[in-house]
A and B are shown apart, each in its own frame.
Chain A
Amino acid sequence: MTGPTTDAPAVTAAALALGDDALVLSHRLGEWAGHAPVLEEEVALANIALDLLGQARILLSRVGDEDELAYLREERAFRNLQLVEQPGGDFAHTIARQLYFSTYQAFLYAELARTEGPFTALATKAVKEVDYHRDHAEQWTLRLGDGTVESHTRMQRAVDALWRYTGEMFQPIDGLTATHGTDWAALQASWDESIGETLRGATLTLPETPRSGAWTAGAGRQGLHTEPFGRMLAEMQHLHRSHPGASW
C-alpha cells in the first residue's frame, strides 16, 4: 500500500479513529461466517464486513502501513469506539450494533461527503455502502422488533444493552471538526431522531439509561477499551505476530 501522507496530526488521528471503527466492526461481522441464521444473511453480513474492511484499508493506509497498524499495535493504541468491539451476542445484538453504528456512519459520512476536506473522496464512495448497511439494519430491526414475542424481547434487550456505548459516538473528533467543520451536536440530534423513529416503528422502547458515563464518554477514542477487545486482538494478531517480517 502507499505510505503515509503528509496529513496534519489531527487529520491522521481522525483517519485512525474512523479506520479502527471500520476494521474492528468488520472483524466482528466476519465472526458470523458459517453461523448466520439464514443463508441470505451469510451473504449480507459478509458483504458489509467486506465494505468496512475496504474502508479500513484506505483509512489506515493514510496513516501508515495497514498491516503494521492492524496487527502490531497494542490494545491501548486502538482508537475505535467501544461499540464496535462488543462481541456479536445473538443476532439481535449484531443488528442493534449495526443499527447504532451504521446510522452514525451514514450521517457522518454524508456530511464529510458534502463538505470539502481531507475525507471528501473517501466519504463520497463509502456513503453508498453505508446507506445499504443502515437499510439492512433498519429492516432487521423492524422485523425483529415487530416479529414474534421472542424476537421482540431479544431485540429490546440488545438495544438496551448497547445503549451505554452510543454516547461516545458524538465526542468530537478534532481532525474532522477542524477540516470539515463537523457539527457534533447536530449529528447527535439527527441520530437521536432517526433511531427514535426506527425503534418506534419496530414497537421497541427507546432506552433512557445513561450513555455518557466515565467509561463511555470518548473512552475508545482515547484507547480505553472493554475486556472482550483484548481477546479479539489476540486472535486477530496471533498469526501475523508469530512470523515477524514475513510477507503474506
Chain B
Amino acid sequence: MTSVTAQDRTTAFDAAVAADERIEPRDWMPDAYRATLVRQIAQHAHSEIIGMQPEANWISRAPSLRRKAILIAKVQDEAGHGLYLYGAAETLGTGRDELLDKLHSGRQKYSSIFNYPTLTWADVGAIGWLVDGAAITNQVPLCRCSYGPYARAMVRICKEESFHQRQGYESLLTLSRGTPAQHEMAQDAVNRWWWPSLMMFGPPDDESAHSAQSMAWKIKRHSNDELRQRFVDICVPQAETLGLTLPDPELKWNEDRRHYDFGPIDWQEFHEVLKGNGPCNEQRITQRRRAHDEGAWVREAAAAYAAKHDTARQTAQTAQTAQTGQATQTGQGTQAEQAARAEQSRQAGQPGQAVQAGLTSRPAQTTAAGEATA
C-alpha cells in the first residue's frame, strides 16, 4: 500500500519534471532532490553575501561620486540576492540561521572566485564584466529550473546581474580609454580575473560529481563545459571592443567548431582554492564570522524587543526569521517565500514604495545611480 503510493508519487514527480512543470514547495519531491536544491541554493546565497566583500573593499576609495553610487548600489543588490536565495531555501524547510551556521563552520561553500583579492580599482570593473558575466551565463538557464521558488528568484537576480555586468564593462572601457596608467590598471585586472572566471563554471564535465542527476532533475540545464564555452565566445569580441587582451595565447576562433578554442585551465589552482588555500579564503570567512558574531547582540536585542512587544509585524522585523523544518509539509513554504520577499521589499523600499514595488524598483535605483550623469 505505502510502496504503491510512494511509487505513484515518484512517477508523478518524474512526469512533472519531464513535462517542464514547476515543482512548488507544497508538492511532494524526493529527499535527494530537496537536498540537492538546498545545497545548491545555499551555496549560491553564500556566494552573494561573501561576494560583497571584495567589492565593498573599494567603496571608501571609489574615485568619483558617480562610481561610488554605482558600487554601493551593486553591493546592496548582492545583499538583496542573498535575501531572495535564503528565502528560496527556506521554502524547502531550511532556515537562514542554519545555513549561515554551515557557512561559518565551513560545512557549506561559496563560489571560489571570491577568494581572490581586489587589488586595484580596475578589479571592480573586471568583476562586473567577468564575474557577473559568468554568473549570468550560469544563471540564466536556472530561470527555467524545475523548482519554482528558485527559478523565480533567478529571474529577478539575473535582471540585476545584467546591470552589474554592463556597468562593470562600461567602467573598464573608461579605464582602457583613459590615461596610460588607467589602461594598464584595466589590463592587469583582466589578466588576474580571466582564468578564475573560467573556473567559475566548475570542473570539466567528466569530473563533475553532481551534474548528471541535476540535469535529469532539470535543476541544471547545460553542462559546465558548454556554459564555459558560451562565456568564452561572448567575452572574446567584448575584450576586443574594450581594447584589452585576454591572457591566453591559445585563444583563437575555430571555424570547424564555430567556437573559440582556449588554452588549458589550471585545475590544480582551482582545487587548491577550493580546499581553502586561495589568497583570501581565510580572510573572507573570518570577516563573515566576525560580522555575524559582533552582530549577535543586535539580533538578540531585536528578538527580545519583539518578544516584549509581540505583534506580527514586529516579529517579521526581527532578524530571527528562521522557519521550522516542517514548512514544506504544512504548505508554509510558500508563505515563507512570500514573507521573505515582503520583508526584503519592506527593508529595501522607501516609505512611498509599496511592498510589491520594492523589488522591482531596486534595479532602477542601480540604473539611476549609474546613468545620472552618463
Binding site for B on A (CB under 8 A): 1, 23, 27, 30-31, 33-44, 46-47, 49-50, 53-54, 56-57, 60, 66-67, 70-71, 90-91, 128-129, 131-132, 135, 139, 142-144, 146-148, 150-151, 154, 235-236, 238-240, 243, 245-248
Contacts and interface: CB of A to CB of B under 8 A. Distances in A.
A50 B83 CA distance: 19
Contact of B351 (A35, A128, A143, A248): A128
Nearest to A90: B294
Question: Closest 9 A-B residue pairs measured CB to CB?
Answer: A37-B295, A147-B301, A151-B301, A46-B76, A33-B56, A42-B79, A37-B298, A38-B319, A34-B56
B52 A33 contact: yes
Given A1-B373, A38-B299, A246 B182 contact: yes
Contacts of A27: 60
Given A30-B59, A151-B300, A151-B301, A247 B178 contact: yes
Contact of A240 (B63, B181, B291, B347): B63
Contacts of B121: 239
Contacts, number: 174
Interface of A is mostly: helix
B300 A53 contact: no
B149 interface: no
A204 to B, nearest CB: 13
Interface in B48-67: 49, 52-53, 56, 59-67
A169 B66 CA distance: 28
Given A43-B79, A146-B308, 10 more contacts: A30-B60, A30-B68, A34-B287, A38-B299, A40-B343, A43-B347, A131-B351, A151-B298, A235-B61, A248-B174
Contacts of B25: none
In the complex, which of the residues A70, A235, A239 has the most CB atoms of chain B within 10 Å of its own CB atom? Answer: A239
6 contacts: A31-B60, A37-B295, A37-B299, A46-B79, A240-B64, A243-B181
Interface residues of B, number: 65
Interface in B261-312: 287, 290-292, 294-306, 308-309
B327 interface: no
Contacts of B296: 37
B342 to A, nearest CB: 12
Given A42-B76, A43-B347, A139 B60 contact: no
B40 interface: no
Contacts of A90: 294
Given A147-B304, A243-B63, A248-B63, A39 B79 contact: yes
A117 to B, nearest CB: 24
B63 A239 contact: yes
A128 B73 contact: no
A131 B349 CA distance: 12
Contacts of A46: 72-73, 75-76, 79
Contacts of A132: 350-351
Given A27-B60, A40-B343, A54 B298 contact: no
B23 interface: no
Contacts of A34: 52-53, 56, 75, 287, 291
A146 B62 CA distance: 38
Given A38-B295, A131-B351, A248-B174, A33 B65 contact: no
A169 B178 CA distance: 42
B82 A39 contact: yes
B86 interface: yes
Nearest to B73: A50
A132 B76 CA distance: 17
Contact of A47 (B65, B76, B306): B76
Contacts of A33: 52, 56, 59, 72, 75-76
Nearest to A58: B372
A243 B182 contact: yes
Given A39-B86, A239-B121, A143 B305 contact: yes
Contacts of A41: 298
A214 B294 CA distance: 35
A231 to B, nearest CB: 11
A50 B69 contact: yes
A50 B365 contact: yes
B249 interface: no
Contacts of B59: 30-31, 33
Contact of A150 (B65, B96, B297): B297
B348 interface: yes
A42 B301 CA distance: 17
Nearest to A150: B297
A91 B295 contact: yes
B179 A38 contact: no
Contacts of A146: 305, 308-309
